[in-house]
Amino acid sequence: MDGKNDVLNDLTAPLSPQQTSLLITMAQQYLMEGAWPVWRFTVATLDRYDLDAEELIRSLPRVGSTGHVGPSYGLTSHIGHQIANDDRPALTIAASLHLPELQPYIGEPFLRTLHTLIALQRNAPVSTQDATKPRYTLADIAGAVPGLPEGFLARLPDILRLEPATWVGSSGTTEEGIWWHELDRELRKYSEATDLEQYVHTTSRLITAMAGELPVPAQTAPAPIPVPAPGSYVDEGLIADLEAKDTALQVDKLVALARELNTNHAAENPYACQMLLRAILDHVPPAFGQSAFQGVVASFPWGRTDKAYVKKLAEFRNSADDVLHRQISTQPSRIDMHDLPPRACVNALLQGVLVHLPGIPQPQGSQ
């Protein structure tokens, strides 16, 4: 097999900017809403950049068999058939290797869960008269793996269903509605997979062996399409619209904060970005008729998606407090650029400011 085909079937090899755009589009909505977006959303979003979502998802690397016969594994749950508009293709653990923003919410919790399941299987009681495999429930995982991200357990059955490490074994629900899955000794094949890259390499090797053949080349990636350079953290057009808005409230400080945030984001200065974004959150509540940001989240009639965005910003305040108030100590700081919320959250908030400003009455006597 030539080197080109090896790359096409290496799930850890760097992706093209176009392929990465597809994964980011799907992942951002998952992180905001806790569910994979319908395919129509992904298609329409990438259409804005003249990218073909159908071609891109077919171009992603995949190991094992092609089509519907035989085992295979890739970066998405999609295998090759046509995707309906209301389908919800999901990203796998392998995809989180390419998306650092997914790793603390899916990739790393999955690895912790996987090794807990390996330990449970190894230490499960063995009967001389009963051949039934041991089972585990979500409560078992919650008790054995503390500190899992909020919502991870609720989505775990779907995550496990996509991963070859946890394919084997039956699943079901008790009369009380409790989900369970069997513990199979196949889990032990992943004992040495202690990080995401090792997990993906182990999965690729096992799937290739199960398929009984060398990896079949994925469809050749489409010819490179010029992709616009990533936008600034705060949309420049939105900043210009705020600056031009004729309103009783003075927006000069907000505009300055937004522009300084963009400058520091481009320079990858995480502490400055954290402090500037926190300043913006504390500055804008009066534009919504509120005195604090919690009131903005709770009282303003946001749409469903924008509500998720501003809630994410409210959660971010803990990270900003860490930057602003944690005193020097013997422990190193772990804050980096990945700790900032997605740019869509900030843009949704400032778009809300822009839309709401016209409704603020002018002071009496003003012209």
Looking at the DSSP assignment, which residues form a beta bridge with residue 136? 181
Q: Note the residue count of the chain.
A: 367
Average pLDDT, the chain: 84
Dump pLDDT digits (tens) for 44-71.
Answer: 999 988 999 999 999 999 998 765 567 8
Both tokens of 47, joined, read 């259409």
- Residue 16, number of CB atoms within 10 A of its CB: 16
Q: Answer whether residue 206 shows pLDDT above 50.
A: yes
Dump pLDDT digits (tens) for 99-135.
Answer: 988 898 899 999 999 999 999 998 888 888 888 888 9
Position 202 scores a pLDDT of 93
Q: Identify the residue whose tokens are 């995809």.
A: 95
User: CB of 346 within 8 A of CB of 277?
Assistant: yes
**Side chain identity at 348, as an amino acid letter?**
A
Dihedral of the alpha carbons of 254, 255, 256, 260, in degrees to the nearest 10? 100
* H or E segment to which residue 239 belongs: helix 236-244
User: What is the Cα Rg of the chain in Å?
Assistant: 24
User: CB of 323 within 8 A of CB of 275?
Assistant: yes
Q: Report the C-alpha gap between 219 and 59 in whole angstroms.
A: 5
Position 44 scores a pLDDT of 93
Dump pLDDT digits (tens) for 213-224.
Answer: 444 444 444 444
Q: Report the C-alpha gap between 74 and 63 in whole angstroms.
A: 6
Between the two ends of the chain, the Cα-to-Cα distance in Å is: 76
Confidence band for 147, pLDDT divided at 50, 70 and 90: confident
Give the DSSP letter of residue 48.
Answer: T
